[in-house]
Amino acid sequence: MLDYEKIKKDFLLVSKQIKGKPIVYFDNACMSLKPRQVIDAMNEYYFEFPACSGRSSHKLGEIVTKKVREARQIIAKFINAGEQEIVFTRNTTEAINLLAHTFPWVKGDLVLTTDKEHNSNLIPWQMLVKNKGIRHRVVKSKDDGTFDLEKYKELAKEARLISMVYTSNLDGTTIPAKEIIKIAHENGALVFLDAAQSAPHKKIDAKDLDVDFLAFSGHKMLGPTGTGVFYAKYSLLEKLEPFMVGGDTVEYSTYTKHEMLKAPEKFEAGLQDYAGIIGLGEAVKYLEAVGFDSIKKQEYELNKYITDELSRWPKIKIIGPGDPALRSGIISFYIDGVDMHQFALMLDEMSNIMIRSGQHCVHSWFNDKKIYNSARVSLYFYNSLEEASVFINSLDKIMKII
């Protein structure tokens, strides 16, 4: 059960008002709010021990080294990974680029993606098609937006890397990752999962999934902005050649040669965002304390309420499956002939309802489907039914004039 009083205390914005009206923050797929604990942990770093980790052996240096190590352990455990298997990045995008730039490509290698990839998991492959002569193919979803395993099985036979969005930021659907990975491995391919929208909402068990690579962003799961994690099975991580090197990546160097550190250090070049990493560790602790069962339950209830209400207006079309249970905390919808930006702007102006509008960086899907853009409500556990009904009431007014 969620303790709403505690949530209000931890997330000050939840009870904040703008121009006398409460804020209804429904743009969590882009960026989540941050609890006080995360901010405090970062402040603590800046106020108490703003030093380097790993390098300096003085007292402050030791505290940072210890705190960063702890955070790394917490975060690794969060996805059931080994401490040495995670690399800190700035975000999911950087993690994907890390993989794209360090993977030992051979001309003609085939990369498979879904048809709902965020640009972050599309453009790097398109670049490699251009620069390294790899091939890229898209596994189209079924009509209801769910994953087409049959088509995938066909294409997987030739693939070298399957790089797929685990939970889509477009419609909230989650792919059957375990099966996909199993099939890939049977065909000798490796699998990367873009878990930017999964990590905040569901338990990820890297070992159980047997996934080879995975990435997520801290800022979408209560963590500080500009924090991200790249996971790789250690045996694979060791084989990747870092593409960004320098300070903190080598054991020693002479004027002519150097000895690389082991993974993950060899990938974390230069001073890191220690405050961010420590903050992310705190975010993970917070999420685990709330528990994914409660998170899922709350998101489902709100998603169901909003989905049911939206069905009052036949003009409104929801992207993805009708069943809210299949759409995580996301309700992406559009109305033919209406610019959803205006929709979002009106909601914001009328009742401080903050949603995202546009193509959510999944241009390719919109272009393919010839849909102009959509409005996207993305929920998180701190959202309440009360907020959902403010949204529906305002929507009701807008629907009267369009």
Partner 1 sequence: MICIVALIIFSILGIFSATHRQMAKEALDCVFRRVTLRPCNTGFKEKIKSHMVAKLLNRSTFLARAFNRYYEVFAWIFFILMIASTFYVVKGGYNYYLYGSCNGLNQSGFCAFDPKGENNKVTEINASCGIEEKSEKNVSLDGVDLSSFPTKQVGAKDTIVLIGCYECDYTRKAYPDIQKLVREKKTNYIFAHYPAKENTNFLSEVGYCVYKEYGDRFWSFNDYLFTVDKVEIYQSEYINTILKNFDFDISKINDCVNDSATKEAVTNQVNQLRKTHLYGTPTVFINGKAFVGPKPYRVYKSVLNKFIIF
Ligand X SMILES: Cc1ncc(COP(=O)(O)O)c(C=O)c1O
**Residues found near partner 1 in the complex (CB under 8 A):** 339, 341-343, 345-350, 357-359, 361, 363, 366, 372-373, 397-398, 400-402
Answer with the entry of ligand X, partner 1, none that 362 interacts with (C-beta below 5 to 8 A by kind): none
The rounded distance, in Å, linking the Cα atoms of 60 and 162 is 43
Q: Which is nearer to partner 1, 301 or 348 (CB)?
A: 348
| Helical segments of 49-192, H only | 59-78, 92-102, 123-132, 149-156, 177-186
3-state secondary structure of 335: strand
With CB under 5 to 8 Å by kind, the binding choice for 358 among partner 1, ligand X, none is partner 1
C-beta of 216: minimal distance to ligand X in Å? 8
- Based on the shown chain and the rule CB under 6 A, indicate whether residue 118 belongs to the binding site for ligand X: yes
The backbone torsions φ and ψ at residue 260, rounded to the nearest 5 degrees and listed phi first, read -65, 150
**Residue 217 touching ligand X (CB under 6 A):** yes
When the beta carbons of 249 and 394 are compared against partner 1, the nearer one is 394
CB 334 within 8 A of CB 340: yes
Question: Given 42, 361, 375, 377, which residue is catalytic?
Answer: 361
Q: Binding to ligand X by residue 173, rule CB under 6 A?
A: no
**Token representation of residue 33:** 């709010």
Give yes or no: 52 in active site. no
Residue 169 interaction partner, one of partner 1, ligand X, none, beta carbon < 5-8 Å per kind: ligand X
For every residue of 213-249, which 3-state class applies, written as one string?
A: EEEEEHHHCCCCCCCEEEEECHHHHHHCCCCCCCCCC
Stretch that binds ligand X, among 113-121, 134-142, 232-240, 368-376 (CB under 6 A): 113-121
Residue 401 partner contact from partner 1, ligand X, none using kind-dependent CB cut-offs of 5 to 8 Å: partner 1
Count CB atoms within 10 A of the CB of residue 151: 14
Which residue in 13, 117, 22, 29 sits closest to 376, CA to CA? 29
Q: Which residues are catalytic?
A: 361
Residues at the interface with ligand X (CB under 6 A): 29-30, 91-93, 118, 120-121, 165, 169, 194, 196-197, 217
